[in-house]
Structure 1
Amino acid sequence: MDDLADRIAALTFSGLTQEQVTALVIDTVAGWGEAQGWRVYRRAPSVMRLPPPMERQHSVLDVALARPAAPPIVVEVDHTDRRRTVEKLLAEAEEGRIPIWVRWGPGRIAEAPPPIHVIALHVTRHQGRYSRNDLPAPEHSARSGLPSEAAELPLPASEHSARRGQ
């Protein structure tokens, strides 16, 4: 699961909506599972039922990964801390699945109770859009090598006038 965390940590984007970020993370999880050669199911049925009045229907998981000779992995992707997500992942763990909660957003990301694995994706938010730009800072241009004269500001009026005339 460290390699999934590494893939998610490597994501960079700018100006995406909440839905776009969630879709990008889900696509990343699904791509990771496919790269492992596992069967990938999006919006897979959960063992947990929906609350009334829809209690006859099952909740869904963002991604479920079926692995040969290993327990399935179930993944939920959320931008907020949701008690229902914790309950759903704990129910999945009771059935022998490995639960992963990819939590993304600005600010503090809460821990989840064991055995839920949390992968945190910290983002910034500006005007309702989300970004994650971990690009290196640009290099500064090389100095020209010309000496420069430091002047204390503000300049006295007489000195300022004399410099303008130069």
Structure 2
Amino acid sequence: MDEANSLEQWLAGLQFADLNEAQATSRLVDAVTAWGESQGWRVYRRAPSVFPLPAPLKGHSVLDVACARPGEQPIAIEVDRLDRQRTVDKLLAEAAAGRLAIWVRWGSGPFRPPPLPVHLVTREASRTRGLWHTVTDRPAPQHSVTTAAAEISELPIGNVTEDNRNRPNTEQSPDD
């Protein structure tokens, strides 16, 4: 699907570091929102879903992001780190209602593909000391310039006896 590929490319440019899980999820939702807005679509956060809330709650669940596209099917997007069956069920219900369903999964993977027609978009991230940071295939930047090896030459020792005459003797001789 072109929209899922486009969103995955957009999220590949997203970088973050030292965020807790809620902050990282929020940053991804912000990026998904920016992607939809860059397409010229109306974008809604926490949009009503067709999927009902679990009992004993009443009403319907919400989507992380929904996009209204003139002349095209709406897009329903969920952003999750964990592999939750409830999210799959919600997106399947959205797809059955005529929406393009996209699941943005983030974290260290592996990312099990959802059943069709739900589309999977991933953004790899790692956790260090309890905080999350994005993972990139780009090499780390070079922080210092490598210099050529210095020319090695012998240093003059000079007169060792003269140089050491005024030094205190701190070594014990073997005869002591």
Query: What TM-score bracket applies, with the shorter chain setting the length?
Result: 0.7 to 0.9
Question: Contact 1:13–1:133 at 8 Å: present in 2 too?
Answer: no
SS of residue paired to 2:17: strand
Give yes or no for the alignment of 1:65 onto 2:67.
yes
Q: What displacement does 1:11 show?
A: 1.1
Structure 1 residue 141, shift from structure 2 partner: 2.4
Amino acid in the other structure paired with 1:94: A
Query: Per-residue CA shift, 1:93-129, capped at 9, x if unaligned?
Result: 0010000000001131111000111111111101211
4+ residue runs over 6 A deviation: none
Output aligned runs, 1:7-22, within 5 Å.
Answer: 7-22=10-25
CA distance, structure 2, for counterparts of residue 127 and residue 137 of structure 1: 20
Q: What TM-score does the superposition give when structure 2 sets the normalisation length? A: 0.79
TM (norm. structure 1) is 0.83
User: For residues 138 and 120 of structure 1, what CA distance do their matches in structure 2 show?
Assistant: 24
- Give 1:86-165 correspondences, 5 Å limit: 86-134=88-136, 136-139=139-142, 141-147=145-151
Give the counterpart letter for 1:120 in structure 2.
Answer: T
Shift of 1:145: 4.1
Alignment equivalent of 1:50, drawn from 37, 50, 53: 53
Cα distance in 2 for partners of 1:129, 1:145 equals: 40
The alignment's C-alpha RMSD in Å is: 1.7
| Unpaired runs of at least 5, structure 2 | 153-176
Counterparts of 1:80 and 1:41 in 2: how far apart (Å)?
23
DSSP-derived class of the 1:111 partner:
coil
Change (3 A) 1:93 1:133: closer
Question: Which amino acid counterpart does residue 19 of structure 2 have in structure 1?
Answer: L
Measured in 2, the distance between the counterparts of 1:98 and 1:105 equals 23
Matching of residue 30 in structure 1 with residue 39 in structure 2:
no
Please give the alpha-carbon distance, in whole angstroms, between the structure 2 residues aligned to 1:7 and 1:19.
20
Task: Give the number of aligned pairs.
Answer: 148
Overall identity of the aligned pairs, in %: 48
Alignment partner of 1:6 out of 4, 9, 15: 9
